[in-house]
Amino acid sequence: MKLGFEPTTEGRPTAVGSAGFAGAKSRPLRQCNLPIVKRRGSSKTALVTGASSGIGRELARLVAEDGLDLVLVARRSDRLEDLARELSVAHGVTARVLAKDLTSPSSPKEIIQELERERLDVDVLINCAGFGVYGRFWATEIERQMDVLRVNLIALTELTGCLLPDMVSRARGRILNLASTAAFQPGPYMAVYYATKAFVLSFSEAIAEELSGTGVTVTALCPGPTISEFQETAGIEDTWLFRGPLVMDARSVAKAGWAAAKRGKRVVIPGLGNKVLREIVRFSPRRLTTLVARQIQTKRGGEK
């Protein structure tokens, strides 16, 4: 399914740089600090946050396979530029790079300003940026926990709120928000992270209902443990959670999420085991599910 997003070369700006060809280096557009890698474009554009690694990177690849142009957002510009070159060469799409750290409160507004300067309409918004901090809440750095809120919750909400009105006015659009199976119960040792994912799920389902009949859909992607840089960043690679049978690879998770978004499905949980676990959580006492979450979040060798 291509969502009716067919590639075309009409009405698209020519490339300022030619990155990806003969080792040439991309240059910023004249009116915007978005380095561009271009071969041929489509009439639709997707913005992907967290595109430098993991599920976000795989979603960007899937979007490019369907012929959509991209705006790739993450902190690490070198990785984004490598990905932009890859997608341009492999799929002939326009891939713009916007290096932004979403822990900065000004970043979402700056992203919107760049889009306005470049006169880009976003038809697909994929909010995939996110991270967590491991440890007893009172023993972790509070500023780091606030960064989790800024990236997982505030930036997602602000970008959605800024881009959604135009989608509604055009009567078309897709939003894919990265939630998690962490949304279904509290998570001791990652209390803030789990809480942000509960917000993402609830927020996504609520606005999806508000958008009924508008031509715009919202999908919450709720993966279980997924092999990516997330567990290393959070310091949870040595927990029982990431040594169990529910672990999936980022590509499989991304495929499930993108397929669901194209169908307009509101919630998708990749993997049979994760679906079963969700049902168990639904019918279990809250105190019990919290205790189990604590146990699987415990590192080998005991609590630390």
Q: Which residue among 134, 193, 194, 262 is the active-site one?
A: 193
Whole-angstrom Cα distance, residue 49 to residue 57?
9
β-pair type (28-29, 173-178): unpaired
> Which tokens is 245 given?
């049978």
Question: Tokens 């070198």 belong to which residue?
Answer: 78
Q: What is the helix (H) or strand (E) element at residue 259, kind and residue range?
A: helix 250-263
Q: What are phi and psi of 182, to 5 degrees?
A: -65, -15
- Kindly tell me the number of DSSP H helices and DSSP E strands found in the chain: 10, 11
Whole-angstrom Cα distance, residue 221 to residue 265?
10
> What dihedral angle (degrees, nearest 10) is formed by the CA atoms of 238, 239, 243, 247?
-110
β-pair type (69-74, 95-99): parallel
Which letter does DSSP use for residue 271 in this model?
S
Whole-angstrom Cα distance, residue 72 to residue 49?
6
Whole-angstrom Cα distance, residue 75 to residue 281?
35
Question: Tokens 């300067």 belong to which residue?
Answer: 117
User: What stretches of 156-295 adopt beta strand conformation (E)?
Assistant: 173-178, 216-221, 226-227, 248-249, 267-268
Q: Which residue among 38, 44, 100, 197 is the active-site one?
A: 197
> Which tokens is 181 given?
């199976």
User: How many Cβ atoms are within 10 Å of 83's Cβ, its own excluded?
Assistant: 25
CB 61 within 8 A of CB 253: no
Which letter does DSSP use for residue 235 in this model?
T
Known catalytic membership, residue 193: yes
Instruction: Give the active site residues.
Output: 193, 197
